[in-house]
Amino acid sequence: MSAGRRPAPGQVRIIGGNLRNSRLLVPELPGLRPTPARVRETVFNWLAPVIAGARCLDLCAGTGALGIEAYSRGAASVQFVERDAQAAQALRANLARLRLTSAVVTTADATTFLRGAAQAHDLVFLDPPFSLDLWAPLAGQLEAGGWLAAQALIYVESPRAGVPGLPPNWSVHREGQAGEVRFALYRRSLPSRQR
């Protein structure tokens, strides 16, 4: 198949790095909305200076395309969290097929997962199901729970119609739109009480 052709339905293509052109099989599940290739390309161009060696958290992972793209481009580790058991199993199968043996997939609700023992991450992908409106609560847990490195970057995908309420110490670094979706990269600074 030529590089310019679209993948078959039920597949997502990794677009860069050492896994470039690898296909991820995507189960047909309600609400599963893989980040489009052109959006991923833009976001990972933004992340190019910092992705190598980064510790990443793919929260509400779905297909895992964002986290796998990060691995492909040199991230040191990716923790995947997905609440749907079928999606999590498909993600594990894709990781095994790609021989990403160090990847960890946790089948859990993101809110519950973030109540656990925290490890600081350099980069977090925050792309919850749009219908659940979880941006503000999950962002609050990430910020308060010790999940973010001092100057972490947080990728947020949300409906174009409204910018989610996020912690005041997260500032927009880059942003874009694709159809009805807004995507943005936020940079965290330490809250004033921690400086």
Residue 132's CATH number: 3.40.50.150
User: Does the structure show a pLDDT above 80 at 19?
Assistant: yes
**pLDDT value for 5:** 35
For residue 133, what pLDDT is reported?
A: 86
Residues in Cβ contact with 44 at an 8 Å cutoff, skipping those fewer than 6 apart:
15, 16, 51, 69, 70, 73
Which residues lie across from 187 on neighbouring strands?
Answer: 153, 171
Kind plus residue range of the DSSP H or E element containing 187: strand 181-188
Distance CA 6, CA 12 (A): 9
Are 38 and 103 within 8 A, CB to CB? no
Q: Domain range holding 159?
A: 11-194
Q: Could you tell me the pTM of the whole model?
A: 0.90
6 domain-assigned: no
Between residues 31 and 79, the one the model is more confident about: 79
2 inside domain = no
> Which of residues 120 and 179 earns the better pLDDT score?
120
Confidence of residue 137 (pLDDT cuts 50, 70, 90): very high
Which of helix, strand or coil describes residue 153? strand
- pLDDT of 77 higher than 70: yes
Residues forming a β-bridge with 123? 56, 153
Provide the domain count of the chain: 1
Both tokens of 153, joined, read 């970057």
For 138-148, write each residue's pLDDT tens digit.
Answer: 999 999 999 99
Q: Give 95 or 133, the one with higher predicted confidence.
A: 95
Is 5 domain-assigned? no
Q: What is the pLDDT of residue 8?
A: 40
For residue 54, the number of C-alpha atoms closer than 13 Å in the C-beta half-sphere is: 31
Residue 159 falls inside a structural domain: yes
Where on the phi/psi map is residue 99: left (φ > 0), alpha (ψ -120 to 50), or beta? left
pLDDT value at 181 more than 80: yes
**pLDDT band of 37, cuts 50, 70, 90:** confident
Phi, psi of 10 (to 5 degrees): 85, 10
